[in-house]
Chain A
Amino acid sequence: MTNFNFVCPVPDPLVDFVTQSHGAGGKLSQELIDKVFLPAYGNAILATKSDSGELAVPAKPGRLAMTTDSFVVRPLVFPGGDLGSLAVFGTLNDLAVQGAEPLALTAGWIIEEGFAICELHRLAQSMGDALRRSNVQVIAADTKVVERGHGDGCYLTTSGVGWIRDGIMMRGDRIQSGDRILLSGTIAEHGMAVMTYRNGMEFAPPLQSDCASLWPLVKKLLEEVPGIRVMRDPTRGGIAASLNEFAEASKCCLRVWEEKVPVRPQVQRACELLGIDPWVVANEGKLLVVVPKDDADQVLHIMRSDPLGVEGAIIGEVDATHPRKVIAQTRFGTHRIVPMPTGELLPRIC
């Protein structure tokens, strides 16, 4: 969680705002690194200030996984998270759902001239907190400054390298008829928190982003349930997009029981107010898992005994009736197709 009472500790001679000189590679660039980034998330590898960070590949059979994601969220700080923590958790989650244990991250900042250094410090600190909590390091980083008016405050790109041990293979085409679909908790919280906060819509208590690292939960699942077919963190496009990706990859029909999909009443109300379907709204700390039927109860048990999955549920099953379609069964016993969201009306949220 971000500390809102942050007092800027950055002393002179750093000016208060980022200028073109901070991105020019000279003295001010060094000061930005030394006084903002290294205190926030420095480590022995970053401290060498080499052009590349080196890391040892685990000496066990397996494969490397690599991912990258750019974060352009507005506002930079929102209830439940901020750009810094989101950029760490988002990339860790992309690795985790592939079954990859995180080895290292990189961070690329693009900062608009005039951005407050206090603000940058706060985001970097939050990034550091998220890294420490996740026990992972940033081993390479870059900072660029763009002219005023050519950016939107600050953007952050993180890439991640992870290790997938032998025997783990997460792929949508492994889904089979008869499998069960599980979800680790309530949906639409990140997207609605950001959207309502940005639009100045007040809810009491405020909607909170679910922004969190899924790796601890995924790690337990991988250790105990080797048969998991595929996992996904349903970010942009929500569970509707992820379920459609599964249906397309597997050529199966995914049938979801609407009443089993958990939505907090407050989030449901916000969605109704804005005319938005919670199934298409982004999550940043939820896990969708497809498993063989016989493993479903065990996965549910592991989920529910983890803080990230206490509201986990078996939300549906896979069959062969309507290949490549996602079908929702309503509380009234009727059915509807859940299409791949077009998403054009959703504000930019991650």
Chain B
Amino acid sequence: MSAYSSEDVRDVEALAQGIHRITKGNWTVMEVCGGQTHAILKNGIDQLLPPAIRIVHGPGCPVCVTSMEVLDRAMEIASRDDVVLCTYGDMLRVPGTKTDLARIRSQGGKIRVIHSPLDACKVASEELRLGTGRQVVLFAIGFETTAPATAMAVRAAHMKSLPNFSVLVSHVLVPPALQAILSDPDHGIDGILAAGHVCAITGYEAYEGIADQYRTPIAVTGFSPVDILRGMLAVVTELESSKGDTSRHTRVINAYSQVVERCGNVAARRALDEVFECCDQVWRGMGTLPQSGFKLRSKYQALDATERFASETSSIACPALPTIQSHCRAAEVLKGKIRPTQCEAFGKECTPAYPLGAPMVSNEGACAAYYHHQSRNDPDVLGGSSR
């Protein structure tokens, strides 16, 4: 009846004991993926680790890193009378410069929450059939995990010649973000748990150069408590065994081999390559990172919503968000420099009901995960110590 079996419980115990046994040094390990952040806090995985291991959270929440510029663009498009904007549920409440999509919807904006990009193609076909004259725009965000589904939707729309479908692409790529974080001399990160589902698509060849260049071991890691501890054990083992050995090659360890292969999913990679090419991309809180995003290839240019809606006319007036003197430190949270609870606004003026920054909105955001499942790392809550 519980989400985890007694076998999982045994595995978790054994892995945690293994980590305790081998840990000698003090290590800071960053998990990259928002799904992992959530699983760690929900299951209290951090409470199972020795005090010498500190977990920090990376930029792996797609909603959190979507740039303000793209968000504002989406809101502008969603404010048009003749448009249905299709997007994922947790995008609705991310604050842009002036407002958010939920407010635009409350004022009559046609915003459809979808679970898969192909749903947007269905919406477009339906609008066409009904002769509403409406354009359907897919607001496509996410990492390499969601990009193949966007690619499929783009190909499907192209093949069907859907005249009323376009896509606002804001897909981002993990390796350039890791590179940006590790190239900061003050990053303080000893090891990384890479996102297993991203690697399932892309493989992990791209991570090998990063691990070696920055002498930081990376474990390809899944999302369940067992998976996360398996990745942690792999990283700590690598850190402990390479301590003081500067000549040693730093490795990527595949701790999620039941799902991930070194070369990834060839079919998905081919689909990505056919539809997208890499481009420089603005990350919220991190600035412009070279070659860190996708844009449509010229063959699919006609489906680019940015071009289709070049004019800035919007027809729905929407009340602005209340302006609050913001102390939001989301940018530092996304780079693993501080924990969410170290932000002065956390849990006070910034809560999931009234978020100041994107990481408080999404289910995968680190701030929301801390707010929902505050662990022993919060000195005032469970009586534990703040390391």
A275 x B363 contact (CB < 8 A): yes
Taking the nearest CB of chain B, how far is it from the CB of A163, in angstroms?
A: 37
B130 an interface residue at 8 Å Cβ cutoff? no
Taking the nearest CB of chain B, how far is it from the CB of A238, in angstroms?
A: 13
B9 x A258 contact (CB < 8 A): no
* Residues 322-350 (chain A) with a chain B CB within 8 angstroms: 322, 325, 327, 330-337, 339, 342, 344-345
A345 x B90 contact (CB < 8 A): yes
- Chain A 242-275, CB within 8 Å of chain B: the 1/0 string? 0000000000000000110111110010001011
- Chain A 263-297, CB within 8 Å of chain B: the 1/0 string? 11100100010110000000000000000000000
Partner of B381, one of A265, A272, A331, A337: A337
Q: Which of B39-47, B152-160, B169-177 contacts A (4 or more CB under 8 A)?
A: B39-47
A332 x B382 contact (CB < 8 A): no
A186 an interface residue at 8 Å Cβ cutoff? yes
A135 an interface residue at 8 Å Cβ cutoff? no
Please, how many residues of chain A have a CB less than 8 angstroms from a CB on the other chain? 30
A258 x B2 contact (CB < 8 A): yes
* Known A199-B115, A322-B381, A335-B47; contact A344-B353, beta-carbon cutoff 8 A: yes
Q: Which of B236-244, B332-340, B372-380 contacts A (4 or more CB under 8 A)?
A: B372-380
Please, how many residues of chain B have a CB less than 8 angstroms from a CB on the other chain? 35
* Known A332-B12, A334-B43, A335-B44; contact A342-B382, beta-carbon cutoff 8 A: no
Partner of B1, one of A262, A274, A325, A335: A262
Report chain A residues within 8 Å CB of B48: 332-334
Report chain B residues within 8 Å CB of A342: 351-353
- Chain A: CB-nearest residue to B376: A335
B89 x A332 contact (CB < 8 A): no
A259 x B2 contact (CB < 8 A): yes
Report chain B residues within 8 Å CB of A325: 381
B2 x A337 contact (CB < 8 A): no
* Residues 330-387 (chain B) with a chain A CB within 8 angstroms: 351-353, 363, 371-376, 381-383
Partner of A330, one of B44, B352, B372: B44
Report chain A residues within 8 Å CB of B115: 199, 201, 274
A337 x B9 contact (CB < 8 A): no
Taking the nearest CB of chain B, how far is it from the CB of A72, in angstroms?
A: 16
Partner of B44, one of A262, A321, A334: A334
- Chain B: CB-nearest residue to A201: B115
- Chain A: CB-nearest residue to B363: A275
**Bound CA span A333–B374, Å:** 15
Interface core residue of B41, B45, B47 (most chain A CB under 10 Å):
B47
Report chain B residues within 8 Å CB of A263: 1-3
- Chain B 104-127, CB within 8 Å of chain A: the 1/0 string? 000000000001000000000000
B93 an interface residue at 8 Å Cβ cutoff? yes
Taking the nearest CB of chain B, how far is it from the CB of A324, in angstroms?
A: 12
B89 x A345 contact (CB < 8 A): yes
Report chain A residues within 8 Å CB of B4: 331-332
**Bound CA span A349–B382, Å:** 34
B81 an interface residue at 8 Å Cβ cutoff? no
B353 x A336 contact (CB < 8 A): no
Partner of B8, one of A331, A333, A337: A331
**Bound CA span A268–B3, Å:** 7
* Known A263-B1, A342-B352; contact A334-B47, beta-carbon cutoff 8 A: yes
Report chain A residues within 8 Å CB of B42: 330, 336
Report chain B residues within 8 Å CB of A322: 381-383
Taking the nearest CB of chain B, how far is it from the CB of A336, in angstroms?
A: 4
Taking the nearest CB of chain A, how far is it from the CB of B267, in angstroms?
A: 23
B89 x A336 contact (CB < 8 A): no
Taking the nearest CB of chain A, how far is it from the CB of B225, in angstroms?
A: 6
B353 x A331 contact (CB < 8 A): no
Taking the nearest CB of chain A, how far is it from the CB of B112, in angstroms?
A: 11
- Chain A: CB-nearest residue to B102: A344
* Residues 310-325 (chain A) with a chain B CB within 8 angstroms: 321-322, 325
- Chain B: CB-nearest residue to A334: B44
Taking the nearest CB of chain B, how far is it from the CB of A133, in angstroms?
A: 29
A336 x B1 contact (CB < 8 A): no
**Bound CA span A304–B133, Å:** 57
Taking the nearest CB of chain A, how far is it from the CB of B195, in angstroms?
A: 15
**Bound CA span A88–B356, Å:** 41
Report chain B residues within 8 Å CB of A337: 372-374, 381-382
A344 x B93 contact (CB < 8 A): yes
Partner of A186, one of B1, B43, B93, B375: B1
Taking the nearest CB of chain A, how far is it from the CB of B295, in angstroms?
A: 28
**Bound CA span A274–B89, Å:** 10
- Chain B 43-79, CB within 8 Å of chain A: the 1/0 string? 1110110000000000000000000000000000000
Report chain B residues within 8 Å CB of A275: 363
- Chain B: CB-nearest residue to A280: B372
A336 x B2 contact (CB < 8 A): no
Complex A-B, nearest 8 residue pairs according to Cβ-Cβ distance, in ascending order? A334-B44, A336-B373, A334-B47, A342-B352, A259-B2, A342-B353, A337-B374, A262-B1
Q: B-contacting residues of A (Cβ < 8 Å)?
A: 186, 199, 201, 258-259, 261-265, 268, 272, 274-275, 321-322, 325, 327, 330-337, 339, 342, 344-345
- Could you give 21 example pairs across A and B, Cβ below 8 Å? A259-B1, A263-B2, A263-B3, A268-B1, A322-B382, A330-B43, A331-B4, A333-B48, A334-B47, A334-B375, A335-B382, A336-B42, A336-B44, A336-B373, A336-B374, A337-B372, A342-B352, A342-B353, A344-B352, A345-B90, A345-B92
Known: A334-B47, A334-B48, A335-B44. 20 other contacts (CB 8 A): A199-B115, A259-B1, A261-B1, A263-B3, A268-B3, A322-B382, A327-B382, A330-B44, A331-B4, A332-B44, A332-B45, A334-B375, A336-B42, A336-B44, A337-B373, A337-B374, A337-B381, A339-B371, A344-B102, A344-B353
Q: A-contacting residues of B (Cβ < 8 Å)?
A: 1-4, 8-9, 12-13, 41-45, 47-48, 89-90, 92-93, 102, 115, 225, 351-353, 363, 371-376, 381-383
